[in-house]
Amino acid sequence: MRTVRASVNRVLLGLVGVLLLGAGGLVLLGGLDLPARLHLDLPSGWPWARPDDVLLPAADRTRFTDRGWWWPAVIAGLAVLVLLLLWWLLAQVRRRRLGMVLVDSGDGEGATVRGRALETVLAAEAAAVDGVDRAAAVLTGRRTAPQVRALLVLAPHADPGTVVLRLSDRALADARSSAGLDRLPTEVRLRAVRHRPERVS
């Protein structure tokens, strides 16, 4: 899913970049009067060939304004564009939360565990690690290949490297063992707990 989203993002950004580059080149071409200076033969319908030309003539801008369907169509088109942009923006920040995890029960049939329950256990074990003030965990990915996103709020005396090592050796190792997983990819974000500076007199 992440690969598909990254590919779509690259395609969309590439198209937007090409459109902006073309529009900028068109503006420079007419604004600097390059066709006359470079003796370029442009097509007869070229929209902007001289500095005093406009991109959209008044006749083109007002051609349909007296039609009853024009303004509703413009508003509807802009509304659809805004909704598509909002959908794209939300898709960048939203990651699907895993509802169930398939656990190898050893009998060949398997069992399922609620994702929220496993998240709660992971967060509790992570919070029990020395140096961790608070912890949160979210499961993403697929039922057969879950992934973990963990947020650890570290105490002032905590050593980040030691905390991550203990998290891997304890909480994540227990989760892999209990779910019968060969691997459990994990993204850990560390944040320092906020505290007021102490005054020394």
Q: What is the mean pLDDT of the chain?
A: 80
Residues 6+ apart with CB under 8 A from 56: 47
Q: How many beta carbons lie within 10 A of that of residue 118, not counting itself? A: 21
Mean pLDDT by runs of 10 across the 201 residues of the chain is 67 87 81 78 72 71 78 90 86 70 70 84 89 89 85 88 89 83 87 66 53
Give the per-residue pLDDT at 10. 80
User: The domain at 100-192 falls in which architecture?
Assistant: 2-Layer Sandwich (3.30)
Give the per-residue pLDDT at 26. 78
Tokens 């008044």 correspond to: 58
Neighbouring C-alpha atoms within 13 Å toward the C-beta of 66: 4
Give the per-residue pLDDT at 79. 95
Q: Is residue 139 within 8 Å of 147, Cβ to Cβ?
A: yes
- Mutual orientation of helices 70-93 and 2-31 as an angle, nearest 10°? 130
Give the per-residue pLDDT at 29. 78
The amino acid at residue 152 is L
Domain ranges for the chain: 2-93, 100-192
Cα distance between residue 155 and residue 191, in whole Å:
9
Smallest CA-to-CA distance from 93 within 149, 33, 45 is with 149
